[in-house]
C-alpha cells in the first residue's frame, strides 16, 4: 500500500518563527508522523525573521503564481531539511511577509492579515501542485489556514479531488475575524458567505469557514473539544461545532523530549532523573533562588509561573493569590512572563515589595524557563481556559507538581492529589476565584510540610508520565487513514 501523503500547512513552525504553542506542534508533529512512515511536507510563510543562513534555506522555485481576486500574485519557494531532517517549504512573497514581525507590531495587527493568509493558503496548495505532490490530506492549523478546506470543497482543481482536509484548532480565542473587504480577493463565492460558514455578525470569520468545510476537526485536548461545543468556551462557534461533533475530536499535544528532559537538559546546572531527582532538584532550586535573588532556603516550598501575560492565563487569580500566599505562608514565588503592560508593571514590581521572597523576570527567556521547571517545587497554572497547555506537561516530567485550574488540557493531564492514599500528579481547583488558587497553594504547602512522603510519591508518579509525540501521532494517523481509505 502506498504511503499516506500529508501537506502540513501552518503560519509558524519552530525553530524558524514562533509566537506560541502552534509553532511547537507544527514542528514536532510532522517529525513524529514522518518517523511513522507518513510522507509529509510542511509549508509556512518566509517571514523576514526566518534565519535563512542558519537553516540553509535554498530557493527551489521561482515565478510561481496564484490568482487572487482579479490579480495574479507571483512568488518564490524556498526549502530546507534543517535542523530536523524533514521537508519544510517557505513561501517567499515580500509584499506580505517581508515585515519585522509575524502578525503584528507595537501599533497593532497588520491590517492586511486576511489578505496575507488568503494568499498563503492558495500558495501552499499551488506549491503542492508545482511539486506534483498530490496530498491525501492537507492538515491545516488555526484561522491562518482556514481557507484551504473551503478551496478543496469548491473542487475547482481536479488535482485535489482526492485530497481531504483536517483543521486543528489550537486556540479558539483567535478566529481571524475581519471586515468583508477580503472576500473577493480570497474568492469566496457569495453563496458561501453565510452564517453557516464564513459569515459571523456581518464580518468574515475565517476559522468558522475552516470548521464548516474541513472533513475532520481536531483540537488539542479532549476536554477542550468538549468545552468549545458549549457557549462559554467557544467564542460563539458552539452551534457550528456541535453540528460537526461527529467529526470533532481532541488529541493531546506531546512535548519535544529532546528539549524537555531533565536527564539531558543543558540549560539547567544539574541534570537528574527519577532516581536522582532529590539531589538534582535541590541543586537546581538553589541555582533558581540565586538567579532570582531569593533567600537561599532549601526547605521553603517554591512556586513557579511561566507564561504569556494575557488574561487567558488567569493573571487576575495569580495577582489576587500570590501576595496573600507569601504573606501568610512559608513559601517563595518566581514569575517569568511578558505581554500585557499593566501585568508587566505589576508582577515586575513584586520583588521590590517582597525582597528575597518573590522573584520576577519580565521578558522571554528559555534558560530561566528551564530552571524554573527544574528548580521549583510547584508550578502555578490558574488559566481561565487552556486548550492543551505545555508547561504543566514539562512540570510533571521535571518532577514539579502543577497547581492548575481544571480546564481544557489542564483537566486532562493532571491527576488530582488524593490525600487519603497519597497519589496524584498535581493539585486541581475549579472556581475562577483568587481564593480558590490561594486555598490550593495552601493545600500544596501543607502537603509539603506535613506529608512529605506524599510529595515524593507524586513526584515519582509525575515523572513516569509519557508525553512523547508517539501517541498523538498515532491518533492523527488514524484520522488520516479514515479519510484517505489507505
Ligand atoms: P500558549 O501557546 O497559550 O502561550 P502553552 O503552554 O501551550 O501556552 O505554550 C507556551 C510555551 O511558551 C511554553 O513552552 C512556555 O514555557 C513558553 N513561554 C511562555 N512565556 C515564556 C517566557 N516569558 N519565557 C520563556 N518561555 C515562555
Question: 306 CA distance to ligand 1 centroid (A)?
Answer: 7
Cβ < 6 Å from ligand 1: which residues?
20-21, 306-308, 336-338, 364-366, 369, 388-391
- pTM for this entry: 0.94
> Is residue 237 very low, low, confident or very high in pLDDT (cuts 50, 70, 90)?
very high
Greatest CA separation for the chain: 71
pLDDT at 1 over 80: no
Distance between start and end Cα atoms, the chain: 7
Rounded CA separation 363/385 (Å):
22
**Residue 256 confidence (pLDDT):** 87
For residue 348, give every residue at least 6 positions away whose Cβ sits within 8 Å of its Cβ, in sequence order, or none.
360, 362
Question: 46 CA distance to ligand 1 centroid (A)?
Answer: 23
Question: 103 CA distance to ligand 1 centroid (A)?
Answer: 17
**What is the atom index within ligand 1 of the atom nearest the CA of 253?**
7
- Among protein residues, the one whose CA lies closest to atom 4 of ligand 1: 20
What share of the chain in percent tops pLDDT 70?
100
CB 326: neighbour CB atoms within 10 A?
A: 19
Burial 235-244 (b: 16+ CB within 10 A, else e): bebbebbeeb
38 closest CA partner among 485, 479, 477:
477
Q: Which cell is 221 given? A: 485536548
pLDDT at 105 over 80: yes
Which of 24-28, 103-107, 135-139 has the highest average model confidence (pLDDT)? 135-139
Q: What is the mean pLDDT of residues 308-330?
A: 97
Substitution candidate for ligand 1 out of 20, 379, 394 with most atoms within 8 A of CB: 20
**What is the atom index within ligand 1 of the atom nearest the CA of 373?**
16
Contact, 61 vs 109, CB < 8 A? no
Q: What is the mean pLDDT of residues 75-92?
A: 97
Burial 97-109 (b: 16+ CB within 10 A, else e): bebeebbeeeeee
What share of the chain in percent tops pLDDT 90?
97
pLDDT at 361 over 90: yes
Q: Which tens digit of pLDDT belongs to each residue from 243-270? A: 999 999 999 999 988 889 999 999 999 9
Q: Which cell is 402 given? A: 502543577
Q: What is the mean pLDDT of residues 205-210?
A: 98
Mean pLDDT across the chain: 97
Q: Which tens digit of pLDDT belongs to each residue from 140-161? A: 999 999 999 999 999 999 999 9
pLDDT at 29 over 90: yes
Contact, 377 vs 403, CB < 8 A? no
Q: What is the mean pLDDT of residues 346-357?
A: 98
Question: 401 CA distance to ligand 1 centroid (A)?
Answer: 17
**Residue 144 confidence (pLDDT):** 98
79 closest CA partner among 42, 121, 133:
42
Rounded CA separation 180/200 (Å):
10
- Among protein residues, the one whose CA lies closest to atom 12 of ligand 1: 20
**Residue 344 confidence (pLDDT):** 97
**Residue 259 confidence (pLDDT):** 87
Rounded CA separation 79/77 (Å):
7
**What is the atom index within ligand 1 of the atom nearest the CA of 22?**
2
pLDDT at 418 over 80: yes
Substitution candidate for ligand 1 out of 19, 253, 308 with most atoms within 8 A of CB: 308
pLDDT at 24 over 80: yes
Burial 124-145 (b: 16+ CB within 10 A, else e): bbbbbeebebebbbbbbbbbbb
Question: 68 CA distance to ligand 1 centroid (A)?
Answer: 35
CB 287: neighbour CB atoms within 10 A?
A: 15
Question: 447 CA distance to ligand 1 centroid (A)?
Answer: 28
**Residue 276 confidence (pLDDT):** 98
**Residue 106 confidence (pLDDT):** 79
116 closest CA partner among 106, 129, 128, 103:
103
Q: What is the mean pLDDT of residues 431-441?
A: 98
Q: What is the mean pLDDT of residues 316-328?
A: 98
**What is the atom index within ligand 1 of the atom nearest the CA of 337?**
23
pLDDT at 81 over 80: yes
> Is residue 206 very low, low, confident or very high in pLDDT (cuts 50, 70, 90)?
very high
Helix or strand (DSSP H, E) at 148:
helix 148-154
> CA 126 from chain center: how many Å?
27
> CA 179 from chain center: how many Å?
27
Cα dihedral 335, 222, 456, 276 sign: negative
Question: 20 CA distance to ligand 1 centroid (A)?
Answer: 6
Contact, 274 vs 370, CB < 8 A? no
pLDDT at 374 over 80: yes
Q: Which tens digit of pLDDT belongs to each residue from 166-193? A: 999 999 999 999 999 999 999 999 999 9
CB 275: neighbour CB atoms within 10 A?
A: 10
Long-range contact pairs involving 361-369 (C-beta distance under 8 Å, separation at least 24): 361/292, 361/335, 361/336, 362/337, 362/338, 363/336, 363/338, 364/338, 365/336, 366/267, 367/267, 368/291, 368/336, 369/306, 369/336
Amino acid at each position: 500500500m502506498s504511503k499516506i501523503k500529508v501537506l502540513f500547512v501552518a503560519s509558524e513552525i519552530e525553530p524558524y518563527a514562533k509566537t506560541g504553542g502552534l509553532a511547537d506542534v507544527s514542528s514536532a508533529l510532522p517529525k513524529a508522523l514522518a518517523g511513522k512512515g507518513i510522507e509529509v511536507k510542511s509549508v509556512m510563510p518566509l517571514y523576514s525573521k526566518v534565519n535563512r543562513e542558519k537553516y540553509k534555506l535554498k530557493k527551489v522555485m521561482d515565478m510561481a503564481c496564484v490568482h487572487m481576486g482579479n490579480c495574479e500574485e507571483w512568488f518564490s519557494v524556498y526549502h530546507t531539511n534543517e535542523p530536523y531532517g524533514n521537508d519544510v517549504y517557505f513561501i517567499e512573497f515580500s509584499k506580505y511577509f517581508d515585515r519585522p514581525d509575524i502578525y503584528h507590531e507595537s501599533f497593532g495587527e497588520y491590517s492586511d492579515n486576511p489578505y496575507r493568509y488568503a494568499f498563503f493558503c492558495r500558495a501552499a496548495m499551488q506549491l503542492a501542485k508545482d511539486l506534483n505532490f498530490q496530498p491525501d490530506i492537507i492538515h491545516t492549523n488555526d484561522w491562518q489556514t482556514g481557507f484551504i478546506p473551503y478551496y478543496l470543497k469548491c473542487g475547482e482543481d481536479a488535482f485535489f479531488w482526492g485530497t481531504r482536509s483536517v483543521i486543528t484548532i489550537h486556540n479558539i480565542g483567535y478566529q481571524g475575524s475581519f471586515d468583508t473587504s477580503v472576500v473577493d480577493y480570497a474568492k469566496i463565492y457569495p453563496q458561501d458567505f453565510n452564517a453557516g460558514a464564513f459569515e459571523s455578525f456581518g464580518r468574515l470569520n475565517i476559522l468558522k469557514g475552516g470548521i464548516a468545510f474541513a472533513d475532520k476537526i481536531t483540537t488539542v485536548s479532549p476536554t477542550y473539544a468538549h468545552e468549545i461545543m458549549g457557549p462559554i468556551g467557544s467564542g460563539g462557534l458552539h452551534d457550528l461545532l456541535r453540528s460537526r461533533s461527529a467529526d470533532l475530536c481532541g488529541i493531546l499535544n506531546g512535548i519535544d523530549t529532546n528539549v524537555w528532559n531533565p536527564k539531558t537538559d543543558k540549560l539547567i546546572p544539574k541534570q537528574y532523573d527519577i532516581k536522582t531527582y532529590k539531589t538534582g532538584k535541590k541543586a537546581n532550586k538553589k541555582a533558581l533562588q540565586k538567579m532570582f535573588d531569593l533567600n537561599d532556603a532549601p526547605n521553603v516550598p517554591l512556586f513557579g509561573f511561566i507564561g504569556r501575560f494575557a488574561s487567558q492565563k488567569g493573571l487576575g487569580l495569580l495577582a489576587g493569590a500570590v501576595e496573600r500566599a507569601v504573606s501568610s505562608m512559608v513559601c517563595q514565588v518566581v514569575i517569568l512572563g511578558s505581554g500585557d503592560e499593566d501585568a508587566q508593571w505589576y508582577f515586575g514590581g513584586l520583588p521590590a515589595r517582597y525582597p528575597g521572597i518573590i522573584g520576577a523576570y519580565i521578558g522571554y527567556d528559555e534558560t530561566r524557563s528551564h530552571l524554573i521547571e527544574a528548580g521549583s517545587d510547584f508550578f502555578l497554572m490558574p488559566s481561565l481556559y487552556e486548550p492543551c497547555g505545555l508547561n504543566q506537561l514539562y512540570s510533571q516530567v521535571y518532577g514539579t507538581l502543577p497547581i492548575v485550574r481544571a480546564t481544557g488540557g489542564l483537566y486532562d493531564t493532571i491527576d488530582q492529589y488524593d490525600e487519603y492514599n497519597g497519589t496524584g500528579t498535581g493539585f486541581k481547583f475549579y472556581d475562577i476565584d483568587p481564593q480558590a488558587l490561594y486555598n490550593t497553594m495552601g493545600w500544596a504547602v501543607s502537603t509539603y510540610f506535613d506529608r512529605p512522603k506524599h510529595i515524593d510519591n507524586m513526584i515519582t508518579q509525575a515523572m513516569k508520565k509519557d508525553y512523547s509525540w508517539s501517541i498523538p501521532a498515532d491518533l492523527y494517523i488514524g484520522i488520516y487513514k479514515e479519510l484517505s481509505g489507505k
